[in-house]
């Protein structure tokens, strides 16, 4: 695997290309990166189309969850979206914050920032801002955000602990995050782990779920909750680009798994805030249909 600088350039170049691809191409691949599958549709993505604030033009089909659904965003909140792409999660968050809130999207790809700003201009949103920068060195002041969201992005960053430290730094005391990401249970085949294209495709850059959660706890977050988890099955026609038939069969029998998780964590301090689990349980009345 290449060093950190090279990996960042690979991801930057790939996502500049992805910004110009169709949503359909992106959804039929691994986070938009190559190897489009003819076997299945929507390998990783969840359906946003019924979510309030959803903007079809801003949906590039690159996510692996719906973090805004779990983020407890309140009117007037300041929300940061890490790896904001064309702006879809920012626009969904803006629906929750209302005009009195503020949403900041951060992305390190020029083409994505340009696309997101064009989309915001079309919607006449003056409280949604897109900033160019790395999420492991955010162009944001300390103690700035009430909520941070991100959708299938941390796995693209070589130094995940640094990103998590930045999330802690930029959240207000008592603030929280809800992040969807790709994690592993067990080991990936060597060919997948070492291939830079699959790194840009989210899979090779994923780490063990237990390590991921430990990084969050070590950073100082409390009330850490896995809000949602689903398996990700890479179709055979994508795997065949990296593994022969025997290797693919052995991988399928290995018990190793690739998962999309949505994780919540809260920065200590500030006013006491109910945990996500408590809020969800309180809202789960008969006929409510949640949980």
Beta strand 78-82 with 102-107 is parallel
Region of 61 please: left (phi>0), alpha (psi -120 to 50) or beta: left
Per residue in 163-182, pLDDT (tens digit) is 999 999 999 999 999 999 99
pTM for this one?
0.82
In the predicted model, what is the mean pLDDT of the chain? 82
> Residue 97, Cβ neighbours under 10 Å: how many?
23
H-state helical runs in the chain = 4-18, 23-27, 67-70, 88-97, 110-123, 160-170, 190-194, 196-200, 209-218, 236-239, 245-253, 276-283
pLDDT digits (tens, 9 = 90+) for 101-128: 999 999 999 999 999 999 999 999 999 9
Lowest mean pLDDT among 53-62, 82-91, 267-276: 267-276
Give the range with max mean pLDDT: 112-121, 228-237, 247-256. Answer: 112-121
Topology classification of domain 4-269: Rossmann fold (3.40.50)
* Residue 102 to residue 146: CA distance in whole angstroms: 10
Rounded to the nearest angstrom, the gap between the alpha carbon of residue 185 and the centroid of all alpha carbons in its chain is: 18
Taking the domains of the chain in order of start, what are their residue ranges?
4-269
Q: Which residue has the higher pLDDT, 50 or 172?
A: 172
Percent of the chain beyond pLDDT 70?
80
Q: Which of 133, 144, 132 is nearest to 177 (CA)?
A: 144
Q: What is the pLDDT of residues 68-90, one digit of tens each?
A: 999 999 999 999 999 999 999 99
């Amino acid at each position: 695997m290449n060093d950190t600088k090279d990996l960042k350039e690979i991801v930057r170049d790939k996502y500049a290309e992805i910004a110009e691809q169709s949503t359909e191409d992106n959804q039929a691949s691994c986070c938009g990166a190559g190897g489009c599958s003819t076997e299945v549709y929507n390998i990783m993505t969840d359906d946003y189309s019924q979510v309030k604030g959803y903007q079809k033009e801003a949906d590039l089909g690159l996510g692996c969850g719906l973090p805004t659904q779990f983020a407890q965003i309140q009117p007037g909140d300041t929300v940061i979206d890490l790896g904001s792409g064309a702006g879809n999660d920012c626009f969904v968050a803006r629906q929750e914050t209302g005009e009195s809130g503020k949403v900041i999207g951060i992305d390190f790809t020029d083409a994505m920032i340009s696309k997101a700003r064009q989309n915001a201009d079309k919607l006449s949103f003056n409280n949604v801002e897109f900033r160019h920068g790395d999420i492991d060195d955010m162009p944001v002041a300390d103690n700035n955000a009430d909520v941070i969201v991100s959708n299938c992005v941390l796995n693209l960053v070589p130094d995940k602990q640094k990103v998590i430290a930045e999330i802690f730094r930029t959240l207000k005391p008592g603030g929280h995050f809800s992040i969807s990401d790709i994690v592993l249970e067990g080991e990936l085949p060597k060919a997948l782990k070492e291939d830079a294209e699959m790194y840009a495709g989210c899979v090779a850059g994923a780490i063990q779920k237990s390590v991921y959660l430990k990084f969050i706890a070590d950073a100082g977050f409390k009330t850490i909750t896995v809000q949602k988890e689903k398996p990700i099955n890479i179709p055979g026609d994508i795997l065949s680009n990296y593994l022969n038939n025997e290797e693919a069969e052995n991988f399928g029998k290995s018990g190793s798994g690739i998962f999309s998780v949505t994780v919540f964590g809260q920065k200590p301090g500030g006013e006491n805030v109910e945990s996500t689990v408590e809020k969800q349980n309180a809202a789960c009345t008969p006929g409510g249909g949640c949980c």
